[in-house]
Amino acid sequence: MNLTWSQKERLYLEDLKSHEQMCVSKYSLYANQAQCEQLKQILKANEMVERSHLDSINQLLSGTLPNTSQSGQDPQQKYQEFMSTTQVSGTLSDKDICTDLLNTEKYVSSTYDTAIFEFQNTNVRDVLNHIQKEEQKHGEAIFQYMQSKGLYNVK
């Protein structure tokens, strides 16, 4: 199946691609800066999924419907390849890292929400919905971590 895009659909995909690239970069950078080992593991896991999201968006841009039920390259291998070319600079507290990532996930999830309604193809909408749900899970993991450490109070 070779997918073709309206101008609006292509622009949404390009926007989503830039969001996913930023998520990958942030999760990678912050995993190296986090002090808490539990937080490092959450961030590394989220980064791996963000990489698969970026792969899916790139496949869509190339006109191919991605298979969201399986991943291609081993996520740990992807992580190691990326880390070998990434430089870390600056340091934030774990709370600052979590706050930035939670805000990022809120924004990215809302962008997917809007984009889903702009695509004609139901299968593409399903792919974008799948990614959005995973973005929400990332936000939930960060939220739960923050709450467990007293870094986020919803009361």
pLDDT tens figures, 71-105: 444 544 544 554 454 444 557 899 999 999 999 99
Q: How many domains does the chain have?
A: 1
Instruction: Give the domain range for residue 58.
Output: 7-148
Would you state the pLDDT for residue 88?
46
pTM of the model: 0.76
- Residue 81 burial class via C-beta count within 10 angstroms: exposed 0-12, middle 13-18, buried 19 and up: exposed
The answer to whether residue 155 sits within a structural domain is no
The answer to whether residue 23 sits within a structural domain is yes
| DSSP symbol at 153 | -
Question: Distance (Å, rounded) from C-alpha 15 to C-alpha 112?
Answer: 10
